[in-house]
Amino acid sequence: MTDHRIALIPGDGIGAEVLPPAQQVLDAVGRRHGFGFSYQSFDWSCARYLREGAMMPEDGLDRLRDKDAILLGAVGYPGVPDHVSLWGLLIPIRRGFRQYVNLRPIRVFEGIDSPVRGAAAGEVDFVVVRENVEGEYSEIGGRTNRGFPEEMAVQEAVFTRAGVTRVLDYAFGLAERRGGTLTSATKSNGIVHTMPFWDELVAERGAVHPRVAWDQEHIDALAAKFVLEPARFDVVVASNLFGDILSDLAAAVVGSIGIAPAGNLNPEREFPSMFEPVHGSAPDIAGRGVANPLGAIWSAALMLDHLGHPEAAGDVTGAIAAVLAGSEVRTPDLGGTATTAEFTDEILQLL
Ligand code: NAD
Ligand code: IPM
Ligand code: MN
């Protein structure tokens, strides 16, 4: 029996509430398929920051390096500025482990009311491939003259040929495997200087993947089309910030941000990849035991796929689909009254 070494970083708020359900699901599906997990849990969080002055220890990445994958809940909590919690934990892991693809699948499941007309179950099934380590989220810039009339903040977006090319190749490759199309999110109408460069690279990589039909849409128009005709998308590739915004929008289109999963992938497997729900720590509902666990559970399914267990991953997404279609049990974000634990039990019963 293979044991996969998994690092668990529950983090803050509902991050710590949705991770145990994901772990229960992993154990159940592992038993069924004859593999197991050895977990090591890390208390890296805003609580740790307040206690010890750092989100994670200085050798944090070294402690994760030998793991097969990382499962993270969410980080960030009132009382600790977001730039501290994010630059102190989430972003260093994404960058340090060269997780340059953020894979964010979107599906409308039967049994969930999408707020969007025309978003029928089975018809909306696409993936946002978000560039995850450069672009608008750069470390170049700063803020000066605080409190003075001259105060200003500057941040340079950084797009490199190598960085854009590798994420585009991943996205084109994914579209090829899915037998689908690719849409590039852009803003090439001359206003944002980086985007014509992005577009040129899309055309270049498109020529290398002639079997994939691709097009591009301005980010503003694309946002509208996510709402008006979500069924037409297959693989959507976007820069770091555009992809961040599009993935929350897409999650809302399919019914709740509580369902959406993410895989921060290092496709070359030089380092562990990290799996986490798209949502954050949700301080507004934390501590009540009502967070939707599906985003974390689906993220665990992405992890299973990455670890070479596509059938087990399919069992998990199948169980999610079956529970949504066949049961009335739901957390409040989906219009129900169930707790996180009750909703998780519905999934576990099918595994
Ligand atoms: P959020 O995703 O935490 O919450 C947005 C809204 O969605 C809230 O109303 C929340 O109650 C709801 N929601 C989110 N997940 C849910 C779930 N599983 N079930 C039911 N409802 C859910 O976003 P935010 O409020 O912008 O951010 C809160 C904190 O989380 C901030 O500190 C932010 O920086 C951090 N954050 C972290 C990550 C991460 O760790 N990857 C991602 C996003 C935000
Ligand atoms: C996400 C989050 C993060 C991001 C924040 C918390 C830095 O919103 O994972 O989508 O923007 O990448
Ligand atoms: Mn986000």
**Domain assignment present for 82:** yes
pLDDT band at 203 (very low <50, low <70, confident <90, very high): very high
Q: Rounded distance, CA 175 to CA 127, Å?
A: 9
Q: What pLDDT score was predicted for residue 288? A: 98
CB-defined site of ligand 2, < 6 Å:
76, 86, 90, 244, 278, 280
pLDDT band at 164 (very low <50, low <70, confident <90, very high): very high
Least confident of 41-55, 180-194, 301-315: 180-194
Q: Which atom of ligand 1 is nearest to the CA of 11?
A: 40
233 pLDDT more than 90: yes
Give the number of whichever ligand sits closest to the CA of residue 130: 2
pLDDT digit string, tens, across residues 48-105: 999 999 999 999 999 999 999 999 999 999 999 999 999 999 999 999 999 999 999 9
Same domain? For 160 and 31 the reply is: no
Q: Residue 68 corresponds to which tokens in the numbers above?
A: 């097969």
Same domain? For 12 and 90 the reply is: yes
**Domain assignment present for 72:** yes
Question: Ligand 2: which of 70, 72, 90, 247 to mutate, most ligand atoms within 8 Å of CB?
Answer: 90
Q: What pLDDT score was predicted for residue 113? A: 84
Q: Rounded distance, CA 122 to CA 51, Å?
A: 47
273 pLDDT more than 80: yes
231: CB partners within 8 A, 6+ apart: 118, 119, 120, 123, 124
**Domain assignment present for 282:** yes
Closest CA to 69 of 37, 117, 31: 37
Q: Which residues of 29-66 are buried (b: 16+ CB within 10 A; e: fewer)?
A: bbeeeebebeeeebebbbbbbeeeeebbeeebbeebee
Q: Average pLDDT in the 281-291 region? A: 98
Same domain? For 121 and 237 the reply is: yes
Angle between helix 340-349 and helix 15-33 axes, rounded to 10 deg: 10
Q: Average pLDDT in the 232-258 region? A: 96
Q: Residue 340 corresponds to which tokens in the numbers above?
A: 């996180």
Same domain? For 134 and 234 the reply is: yes
**Domain assignment present for 80:** yes
Same domain? For 118 and 237 the reply is: yes
- What percentage of the chain has pLDDT greater than the value 90? 94
The pLDDT mean for the chain works out to 96
Least confident of 56-70, 111-125, 187-201, 254-268: 111-125
- For the chain, how many structural domains are there in total? 2
Same domain? For 244 and 125 the reply is: yes
Cα(38) to ligand 3 centroid in Å equals: 29
Q: Do 19 and 73 meet the contact criterion of CB atoms below 8 Å apart?
A: yes
Same domain? For 140 and 187 the reply is: yes
Domain assignment of residue 141, given as a range: 114-254
Same domain? For 245 and 266 the reply is: no
Least confident of 42-56, 187-201, 283-297: 187-201
Q: For 234, which DSSP code? A: S
Q: Average pLDDT in the 206-233 region? A: 96
**Domain assignment present for 247:** yes
Q: For 137, which DSSP code? A: S
334 pLDDT more than 70: yes
Q: Rounded distance, CA 317 to CA 149, Å?
A: 54
**Domain assignment present for 109:** no
Same domain? For 121 and 234 the reply is: yes
**Domain assignment present for 234:** yes
pLDDT band at 1 (very low <50, low <70, confident <90, very high): low
Name the range with the highest mean pLDDT among 118-132, 182-196, 326-340.
326-340
**Domain assignment present for 60:** yes
Q: Taking CA 260 as the corner, what is the angle to CA 156 and CA 168, rounded to the nearest 5 degrees?
A: 45
Closest CA to 320 of 261, 275, 276: 261
Same domain? For 225 and 307 the reply is: no
Q: Rounded distance, CA 193 to CA 108, Å?
A: 35
CB-defined site of ligand 1, < 6 Å:
14, 18, 74-77, 82, 86, 90, 257-258, 276, 279-285, 291-292, 295, 331, 333
Q: Do 132 and 95 meet the contact criterion of CB atoms below 8 Å apart?
A: no
> Which CATH number does the domain housing residue 45 bear?
3.40.718.10
Domain ends where: 236, 254, 272?
254
Same domain? For 283 and 330 the reply is: yes
Q: Do 258 and 320 meet the contact criterion of CB atoms below 8 Å apart?
A: no
Q: Rounded distance, CA 19 to CA 25, Å?
A: 10
Domain ends where: 209, 226, 254?
254
Same domain? For 131 and 239 the reply is: yes
Closest residue by Cα to atom 3, ligand 2, is: 244
CB atoms within 10 A of CB 326: 12
- Containing H/E element for 263? strand 261-265
- Burial bucket for residue 207 (CB in 10 Å: 0-12, 13-18, 19+): exposed
Domain ends where: 254, 281, 301?
254
Q: What pLDDT score was predicted for residue 69? A: 98
Closest residue by Cα to atom 4, ligand 2, is: 244
